Structure formats: C-alpha cells, structure tokens
Structure 1
Amino acid sequence: MMIDARELINYAIIAKGKAYAPYSKFRVGAAVLAKGGTIYSGCNVENASFGATNCAERTAIFKAVSEGAKDFIAIAVNSDSENFTYPCGICRQVIAEFSAGMKVYVSNRKGEYKEYTINELLPGAFTGEDMK
C-alpha cells in the first residue's frame, strides 16, 4: 500500500477530532504507517493529573504495537495550532525505539507540513543498541 504524506496527515487530522483535551484545549492527532500498510491513529488523552496524560503520538504507536505492529515507515502529527506541531521529547524517544529512520511529518492547522526523520529530531537517541 502506497500512501503519501498528505494522506497520512489527513488521518492525523481525523484523529485530532477525537482528542480529549478539556484542560489545555490543545487537541493533537497522530497517525502511524506500519510497514504492512496499516495506519494506526491516536489522539491526546488528558487527565486532571497531567502526568497521566498521553500524547497522540504515543497513543497511535501503542495502539499499533498492541495490535502486533512494530515496524513503521512514518508518523504524522497535527494540531489546531498555526505553528508546526512536533512530537515532545518522550514521544521522540518512543518513535526512536521502533525505527531510527522513520519519517516524521509535522503539520499545522492549515495542513502545511515539514518532513524529518526521527534521527534529525532526536540525534543520538538512547536505543536498545546502547544496552549491549
């Protein structure tokens, strides 16, 4: 299955609509493309205890992993912001866990986007290779 950046971002936009963000009002959606062609989407889920909040990127990846996917090609992130929405540091670490070369599409509310690899966003990531 071939999918382009814009289509993956559209999945993230749809996921954003499901966000639970009653405190920050900052809705975020993410969509991750697995090597088999399946797309897993996720949204941010806030909690009154902010430490219990889960970002959209981790929601999408954890959903994929819980369904058996562990090899990913790309992830797209979208919010209502005029600015490009980047994965936070924890999400970057989770993305790096699964694919050092994964493409990361960051976008804004207009659907404009930029493309990076996770290595560009998190150089020198701590990975399983560091534990050998």
Structure 2
Amino acid sequence: MTALTTQQVEQLHTAARAAQARAHAPYSRFRVGAAVLDESGRIHAGCNVENAAYPLGMCAEALAIATMVREGGRSVRGLLVVGEGEHLVTPCGGCRQRLREFASDATPVLVADLERVRAQFTLGELLPASFGPENLA
C-alpha cells in the first residue's frame, strides 16, 4: 500500500468533512463527503448530490474524481470517504470502478466519520481482480 502521511490524511479528512457539509441529500438525509489526493499532492473534494429521479444522483467519490480531472489531475494517490452511522461508508461498486480508472490496486482508501479514520483498505481489497485501463492496452 502506498502510505499517506499523517498530514495528508488530516488534509483529506478536513476536505471530505467540508464537502459532506454541503451535500444535497434531501431524500436519504445521508450525507457523504469524499476527497482524493492526486499525483501532484493536490486535494479535490466532492459530496453526494441526490436527485428526485434517483438514478441521476451523484456519489461524493464520483464528484471528487471529476473535480480532480477538471483540475488537471490524472492519478489518485489516496481517497478518504466521510459518512455517518454505525456501519462503514465505503465506496459503492460504481465508484470503486471509477477509482480503478485513476488508481492502482495499492491505492489507500480510508473510511472515516466526522471524528476519525475508522478503517483503511487498498483499492485492490475493495475491488479484487478488477478490469482496468491496462486490459484495453
């Protein structure tokens, strides 16, 4: 696993919490924030944005990745997701595949609540034997 520094984890957590506070979740009331660290050390955050037509909603992780790409980032070096509740809020299957487009199996994926990181995985642990860009090379 590519290690993140304590400072990077704190910055990701701060950015994800700030994004979570801006989530648009009027239907589920389940607010999620996410932040990615790119290859240049920049942090890009996103929040979930729900829509009355449920399939049109957007996950926090998807928005964070899209923001990274918009800002010129091309590689995810780490991801932190903030959610509340008893259970861990890990990326959904679609977001795991989105991450795979920009991250390696060794990329750390941290899961946190408002106070602390609760668990850490690699993308490979969350999406084993994945299909990625190299499959199309």
TM-score over 0.5 for the pair = yes
Letter of the 2:117 counterpart: E
Report the alpha carbon displacement of residue 22 of structure 1 after superposing the two structures with TM. Answer: 0.3
1:121 and 2:126 are equivalent in the alignment: yes
Is contact 1:2–1:37 with CA below 8 Å preserved after alignment?
Answer: no
1:81 to 66, 85, 92: 85
Aligned to 1:130: 135
Q: SS state of the match for residue 119, structure 2?
A: strand
2:67 to 63, 69, 78: 63
Question: Which 5+ residue runs of structure 2 have no aligned equivalent?
Answer: none
In 2, the alpha carbon distance for the partners of 1:84 and 1:48 equals 25
- How does the TM-score come out when normalised to structure 1? 0.92
In 2, the alpha carbon distance for the partners of 1:69 and 1:4 equals 16
2:28 to 24, 27, 30: 24
Is contact 1:9–1:76 with CA below 8 Å preserved after alignment?
Answer: yes
Is contact 1:30–1:42 with CA below 8 Å preserved after alignment?
Answer: yes
RMSD (Å) for aligned C-alpha atoms: 1.6
The 3 A distance-change label for structure 1 pair 71 and 3 is farther
Report the alpha carbon displacement of residue 112 of structure 1 after superposing the two structures with TM. Answer: 3.5
2:98 to 83, 94, 97: 94
Is contact 1:92–1:122 with CA below 8 Å preserved after alignment?
Answer: yes
In 1, the alpha carbon distance for the partners of 2:35 and 2:136 equals 29
Report the alpha carbon displacement of residue 18 of structure 1 after superposing the two structures with TM. Answer: 0.5
Is contact 1:23–1:46 with CA below 8 Å preserved after alignment?
Answer: yes
Letter of the 2:96 counterpart: R
Aligned to 1:72: 76
Is contact 2:76–2:99 with CA below 8 Å preserved after alignment?
Answer: no
**What count of residue pairs does the alignment treat as equivalent?**
132
Question: Which 5+ residue runs of structure 1 have no aligned equivalent?
Answer: none
Q: SS state of the match for residue 48, structure 1?
A: coil
In 2, the alpha carbon distance for the partners of 1:18 and 1:33 equals 20
